[in-house]
Structure 1
Amino acid sequence: MLQNPLKKIVELQKQGKNVGIYSVCSANKYVIEAALKRGREDGSCVLIESTANQCDQNGGYTGMKPADFKKFVLDIADKVGFEKGKLFLGGDHLGPLTFAGKDEAEAMADAEELIRHYVGAGFTKIHIDTSMKVKSDDPDTRLSDEIIAGRGAHLAEIAEETYKKLLEKEPDAIPPVYIIGSEVPIPGGAVGSEDAGVQVTKVEDFKNTVAAFEKAFKDAGLGADVWDRVIAVVVQPGVEEKDSGCTEYDREKAKELMASIKDFPNLVFEGHSTDYQTKIKLRELIEDGVGILKVGPGLTFAMREGMFALEHIEKELVYGTDIEPSNFADTLEAEMLKDDKYWRKHYQGTELELRIKRKYSFSDRCRYYMPTPAVEAAADRLISNLRTLGVPLNLMSQFMPIQYTKVREGQLENDPVALLEDRIVNTIDEYLYATHQKELL
């Protein structure tokens, strides 16, 4: 059987090398294109993941099934000339999450189909997450490790069956690696904006999770070769974004948890919600045993910053002319007010505070509104206007000073999309500083 190249993360970490990978958790076209362009320039691999609520067998909130998302990403890879052998696709929080309002039998049947779609489409990094209760579970009783692991092992069985069928059509298909555990908020972020204190995963809980899953895999008849492809466990190392900041990684508070990974020669940690950590903190996470750094809102937040900066330039250029402005920020706000389901539970405060959070919160709920037709049309008009008018260096210096320097030094094209994507690259480079992921391939 072929080996999944992502297993090398474990091998290198156990050799004492501080190598990992960052995971792009986004369906935004500018974010994905920026990541692939930067990977091409850097000569490194790129991992892109879709969450269970983003893409599923019914389309998710993006309207894309896993196979559609794969095509979407591969088309961008073709466009930018990224080597597909260095591109990995993952599925995040795959389980009964979005079907939790149903009884166990129905919810798990839907979760099975979700797994089939992801593995059948050739996704090679599968996070199995069965930590959430379904309708028939006792709401007053904690789900036991055995129930969580048993459901997870069943989904792993489905994944393996699907992979075997995939091999019949694609003999060179790479076997999936698995991620287990869930010590993080649900996909999309925590509900509520106040920091109630992030608790580092207890060593005992981490070890119990591993033991329960290993036993469940064995009881389900999954061989040692399948358990060997479980490469990471999701833990909470003590990080989380907030509306106007983040809980920074404190290696002293996490030292017992991080030391415990040394007891498991075939595992690393996967860290979720690493957005807005400094590059130093990101590197510390990798040094301490986190092999996979998940980032989502931090990348679309940078994209939104870039869009707002470009609109400031546009406003100066179209003032007093008959050119129709994009009104990008106002359009985004209007769409968020028209349908508040993606932000209402997450933001609290006065009307002024809510207005600020809708636009500028680090949790970046506005990313859910970027694919709406009205916002996409406004973004397209913004880009078109600036391509027609040009971006003067003096305004670029005012609103995008880092990109201004790169343009002046001949490192970056003076084009609105190039400027926008380079703003995203500012964030990507902090992850590349931490992961040294060029060493994986």
Structure 2
Amino acid sequence: MAGAEFFKSMIELRKKGEKVGICSVCSAHPQVIEATLEFSRKANLPALIESTSNQVNQFGGYTGMKPRNFRDFVYRLAQKVNFPLENIILGGDHLGPNPFRERPSEEAMALGCQMVEEYVRAGFTKIHLDASMYLGDDQRTPGEPLDIEIVAERTATLAEAAERAFWEKGSGEKPWYVIGSEVPMPGGSFELEGPPEVTSPAHFRQTVEATREAFLQKGLAEAWERVIAVVVQPGVEFDDSRVFVYSREKAQELSRALTRYPDLCFEGHSTDYQPPRALREMVEDGVAILKVGPALTFSAREAIFMLANMEKELLPLYREWQPSELFGVVEQVMLKHPKYWEKYYQGDEGRLRFAMKYSFFDRVRYYWAYPEVQEALKRLFSNLRSVELPLALLSQFFPLQYRKVRDGLLSKDPEDLVKDWIGMTLEDYFYAVSPQK
């Protein structure tokens, strides 16, 4: 089911009282994407795969990929696992001036528009427009967000660029838009003293009305009909070691505010690590788009580290192996390039090294693509593929996967074990967004 069909169907079903939604996977981790595609096929749902403006942009982002490169990367993985390309919805998250926020507003917005255009030309059809941040020459009011009218006007400018890119492209599916940015910094918050404040109904309504008016002033009435969601903060977040779980009691006023806008739903960010019950309640209360990223790469890291421990146990039996030394390699690369974790972790050397491996922030996810780490990972997989993995060892480290292997439902290939482990997290999200009997 293509994006246009799915989003129309989702909104219409919600109007009829069906509490359905979609899981949005924001990741460039290959095993995470493959697991998402395979799980989506089992659930008979489209796979919504997103990249962020810092991750993928016209200059490559931290992944080194431009939008068309990320598209091709996802499509190659889909072909590898025999997933139909027409059932993939590509999304862009926080698209706009965010990566260029230190520059003057005119320059930052021009670059933000260029980014949006490249995403649309590459075939991305779910576009989150985010102009909520202060730019280089904006007058700042300490402790106050950027004026909502300025945010709305800049959001409409980004939409205008997206529409222009689509019409110049001349084919494909029109973009569907998400507006708003009532969220903390991507990847989790490291300054939280308690659960985050839920978006106020007034702020939600102001965002919708101001942005709609800005769209109409730019002649984008038809594009406004393709605005499907507003990003809100439903009161969920995580930090280094804590998860703040959704409370529907605290979010009930926000949920009621959505009834005035039957053609819209909420999009929730930082839903990582939420229990299945909380995810389901969020969908029931209007958060129909559940974005997840670090929780899935955290699961991938768990599985890869378990494989590395299996390798260590097997090394005395297979002395001809060249050990992957995965733990040491990952730590060395993170220490050599601390820019992705140093602002998140604090404490003495022991605490830092522990957090680098096991924190909910999962800053390890920024390092899997480094050549040294890739080489260690390939060596790890190669070693484990070269032998018949003992079932007893598999039961020790992957007890649930052991049962599937025992019953002929899963292979012992290390990549399959990793993807199945990731699938246990995906299962929570697909349960939450699927129709309940």
Shift of 1:6: 1.9
Partner of 2:379: 381
Give the aligned residue type for 2:373.
V
Partner of 1:21: 22
Distance 1:163 1:4 in 2: 18
> TM-score of the superposition, structure 2-length normalised?
0.96
Partner of 1:60: 61
CA contact (8 A) 1:242 1:363 kept: yes
Shift of 1:42: 2.6
CA contact (8 A) 1:184 1:236 kept: yes
Partner of 2:232: 235
Matched, 1:151 2:154: yes
| Counterparts of residues 22-171 of structure 1 (less than 5 Å) | 22-140=23-141, 142=144, 143-167=146-170, 170=171
Partner of 2:243: 246
CA RMSD of aligned residues (A): 1.6
CA contact (8 A) 1:313 1:391 kept: no
CA contact (8 A) 2:241 2:360 kept: yes
CA contact (8 A) 2:345 2:355 kept: yes
Shift of 1:85: 1.9
Shift of 1:193: 5.5
Distance 1:41 1:252 in 2: 33
Distance 2:301 2:193 in 1: 24
CA contact (8 A) 2:326 2:377 kept: yes
Shift of 1:390: 2.7
1:300-326 CA-to-partner distances (Å, cap 9, x unmatched) read 000000000111111111126131111
| Counterparts of residues 19-418 of structure 1 (less than 5 Å) | 19-140=20-141, 142=144, 143-167=146-170, 170=171, 173-190=172-189, 192=190, 194-223=192-221, 225-319=222-316, 321-418=319-416
Q: Secondary structure at the match of 2:177?
A: strand
Distance 1:178 1:346 in 2: 31
Distance 1:189 1:357 in 2: 14
Give the aligned residue type for 1:175.
K
CA contact (8 A) 1:22 1:435 kept: yes
Q: Secondary structure at the match of 1:179?
A: strand
Give the aligned residue type for 1:40.
R
Q: 1:367 to 1:438 in 2, by over 3 A?
A: farther
CA contact (8 A) 1:43 1:438 kept: no
Q: Secondary structure at the match of 1:214?
A: helix
Give the aligned residue type for 1:385.
N
1:70-97 CA-to-partner distances (Å, cap 9, x unmatched) read 0000111111111222110000000110
Structure 1 gap segments, 5+ residues each: none
Q: 1:214 to 1:194 in 2, by over 3 A?
A: closer
Q: Secondary structure at the match of 2:344?
A: coil
Identity %: 50
Structure 2 gap segments, 5+ residues each: none
Distance 2:295 2:159 in 1: 30
Shift of 1:219: 1.0
CA contact (8 A) 2:152 2:210 kept: yes
CA contact (8 A) 1:178 1:229 kept: yes
CA contact (8 A) 2:60 2:66 kept: yes
CA contact (8 A) 2:395 2:402 kept: yes
1:232-251 CA-to-partner distances (Å, cap 9, x unmatched) read 00000000112223100000
Shift of 1:389: 2.0
Shift of 1:437: 7.2
CA contact (8 A) 2:24 2:289 kept: yes
Matched, 1:422 2:425: no
> TM-score of the superposition, structure 1-length normalised?
0.95
Higher RCO structure, 1 or 2 (CA under 8 Å, sep 6+): 1
Distance 2:24 2:436 in 1: 14
Shift of 1:7: 2.8
Distance 1:7 1:367 in 2: 34
Distance 1:195 1:433 in 2: 31
Give the aligned residue type for 2:168.
K
CA contact (8 A) 2:187 2:270 kept: no
